[in-house]
């Protein structure tokens, strides 16, 4: 009965920053759900090639990888044209490419703050604005913005990232408000703490072999009692890309092992 609800047969998905990490896992889940084509972009040729190898190793042949800086508006518009010509319509956009800089706010240079805002907030606007006109014509589209715990919470050293991811939550709601009438759904996926290269510095073993204090902190702060794996975002990501979520719009689906529900362990 519900089988077809989650099928992505006939759909093409563009996942920004999909060469590895969370974007790669989401893309693999879309391929497994039957998507026709997976398209990803990343920031450099070495990453593109490594990403393509990883998709092929996962048995995914209908995949195209491109080098495209998501903050470069012209390059993004050129890429969208190229995807239309080489693959067809973009039914699903996942704004996943992202960076973080962990620097105390009062020591951060304005240019560093701006770079995080550009990649994590301005780029999702650029990519969404580039795909929306064609989605409006077809009266169908899914846009998924990868948010964060920092869409809701602050912590030391991540001011620019929190500002960007909080903004991305509101951009999500606004895209929903502005284009919902065209049968375009824009939702956020808010991962908790996921073991990827972005968080590797927070999980490094200490010289004496003990856990990084931040690693231990996250395990204690997460009711699940562990970091999550990127593959655990697969189900929610497929849901938000599929017909099953056609009435879900402007929502942020947190996949955090319970972090946002929990005040923390009593001392």
Question: Which of the listed partners (ligand NAP, ligand GCO, none) does 20 bind, with a CB threshold of 5 to 8 Å by partner kind?
Answer: ligand NAP
C-alpha dist (Å) from residue 10 to 38, 90, 91, 124: 11, 11, 9, 24
Question: Which of the listed partners (ligand NAP, ligand GCO, none) does 22 bind, with a CB threshold of 5 to 8 Å by partner kind?
Answer: ligand NAP
Phi and psi dihedrals of 154, rounded to 5? -105, 165
State which residue, 63 or 119, has the beta carbon closest to ligand NAP.
119
55, 161, 179, 193: which one is catalytic?
161
The question of whether 182 is a catalytic residue gets the answer: no
Nearest approach in angstroms of CB 227 to ligand NAP is 8
Question: Which of the listed partners (ligand GCO, ligand NAP, none) does 158 bind, with a CB threshold of 5 to 8 Å by partner kind?
Answer: ligand GCO
Tell me which residue of 95, 102, 144 sits closest to 120, measured CA to CA.
95
Query: Residue 116 in contact with residue 150, Cβ under 8 Å?
Result: no
State which residue, 114 or 137, has the beta carbon closest to ligand NAP.
114
Tell me which residue of 76, 87, 173 sits closest to 118, measured CA to CA.
76
Query: Under rule CB under 6 A, how many of the chain's residues touch ligand NAP?
Result: 28
Q: Which residues bind ligand GCO (CB under 6 A)?
A: 100, 102, 148-150, 155, 158, 161, 191-193, 198-199
Q: Which residues of 151-181 are buried (b: 16+ CB within 10 A; e: fewer)?
A: bbeeeeebbbbbbbbbbbbebbbebbeebee
Catalytic sites, residue numbers: 161
């Amino acid at each position: 009965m519900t089988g077809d609800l989650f099928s992505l047969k006939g759909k093409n998905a563009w996942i920004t920053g999909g060469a590895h990490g969370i974007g790669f896992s989401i893309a693999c889940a879309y391929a497994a759900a039957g998507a026709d084509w997976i398209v990803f972009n990343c920031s450099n040729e070495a990453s593109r090639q490594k990403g393509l190898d990883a998709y092929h190793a996962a048995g995914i042949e209908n995949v195209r990888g491109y080098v495209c800086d998501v903050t470069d508006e012209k390059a993004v518009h050129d890429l969208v044209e190229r995807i239309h010509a080489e693959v067809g319509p973009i039914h699903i956009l996942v704004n996943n490419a992202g960076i973080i800089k962990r620097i105390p706010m009062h020591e951060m240079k304005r240019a560093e703050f701006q770079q995080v805002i550009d990649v994590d907030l301005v780029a999702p606007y650029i990519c969404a604005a580039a795909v929306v006109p064609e989605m409006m014509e077809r009266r169908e589209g899914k846009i998924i913005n990868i948010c964060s715990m920092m869409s809701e919470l602050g912590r030391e050293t991540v001011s620019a990232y929190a500002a960007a991811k909080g903004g991305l939550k509101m951009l999500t709601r606004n895209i929903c408000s502005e284009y919902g009438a065209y049968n375009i759904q824009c939702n956020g996926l808010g991962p908790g703490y996921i073991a990827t290269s972005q968080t590797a510095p927070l999980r490094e073993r200490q010289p004496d072999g003990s856990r990084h204090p931040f690693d231990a902190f996250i395990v204690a702060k997460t009711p699940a009692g562990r970091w999550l794996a990127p593959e655990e975002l697969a189900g929610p990501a497929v849901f938000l890309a599929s017909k099953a979520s056609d009435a879900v719009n402007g929502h942020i689906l947190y996949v955090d092992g319970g972090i946002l529900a929990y005040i923390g362990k009593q001392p």
